[in-house]
Structure 1
């Protein structure tokens, strides 16, 4: 991946990506915002297609993990 991580938009994307509490609290909204932000960077020319695909893959993987964690948390404590 040839992304210039010093651009503010990408720093913000990674800060959101690393926000575990947001990911756990609302996996779908978390994923949607990551994708929306990456698409905006792509549309503005800050990312090329391959870089956008790489960020999308990271967001998709994080979403799957968050959903698995949510299911496991419910299994562990159904009354929570």
Structure 2
């Protein structure tokens, strides 16, 4: 494990952890099904927090927000309930 730790700076490691958390929220099927608005809000909140902390640039921030919007639209269309 120490070998992997030496591969990334603390800023890079923080960015990887933040992205992992964002993608975990993106895949939260339960929240997406039960409350699409809260699901979308959480994705946007995490993207905004990454930006506020300086972990991502504006292009990455915009990409995360677009992906969140697309996921929200699929959720409200009921994509989790169709094959």
- TM-score class, shorter-chain normalisation, is 0.7 to 0.9
TM-score when normalising by structure 2: 0.74
Q: Which residue of 2 aligns with 1:63?
A: 72
The runs of 4+ residues in structure 1 deviating greater than 3 Å are none
For 1:15 and 1:33, locate their aligned partners in 2 and report how far apart those are by CA, in whole Å: 11
Structure 1's unaligned 5+ residue stretches are 74-80
TM-score when normalising by structure 1: 0.77
Q: Alpha-carbon deviation of 1:20?
A: 1.3
Q: Alpha-carbon deviation of 1:21?
A: 1.5
1:49 to 58, 74, 79: 58
For 1:63 and 1:45, locate their aligned partners in 2 and report how far apart those are by CA, in whole Å: 25
RMSD: 1.9
Residues paired across the two proteins, number: 68
1:7 to 16, 26, 33: 16
